[in-house]
Copies of this chain bind each other. A is one copy, B any other.
Amino acid sequence: MKYIDSINNKLIRQTIALYSRHERDKKDLFVLEGERLISELRDTELIEYVIISESYNGYCPDTGNIYLTSNLIFDKLSDTVNPQGILAVCRKLSYDVHSAFTAEAPLFVVLENVQDPGNLGTVIRTADAAGFNGVFLSKGTVDLYNPKVVRSTMGSMFHLPIYTNVNIEHLINDFKRYNVQTLAAHLGGAGTPYECNMKKATAIFIGNEGSGLTPETATMTDRLVRIPMPGKAESINASIAAGILIYEAVRQRLEG
Contact = CB atoms under 8 A, between A and B. Distances in A.
A152 B235 CA distance: 12
Interface stretch (A54-62, A139-147, A167-175, A237-245): A237-245
Oligomer copy total: 2
B129 A236 contact: yes
Range of interface residues on chain A?
35 or more
A251 B251 CA distance: 11
Contacts of A236: 125-126, 129, 243
Contacts of A156: 232-233
A227 to B, nearest CB: 7
A34 to B, nearest CB: 14
Contacts of A233: 125-126, 128-129, 154-156, 159
A130 interface: yes
Interface in A202-254: 227-233, 235-237, 239-240, 243-244, 247-248, 250-251, 254
4 shortest interchain CB distances as A-B pairs: A131-B231, A131-B230, A129-B233, A159-B232
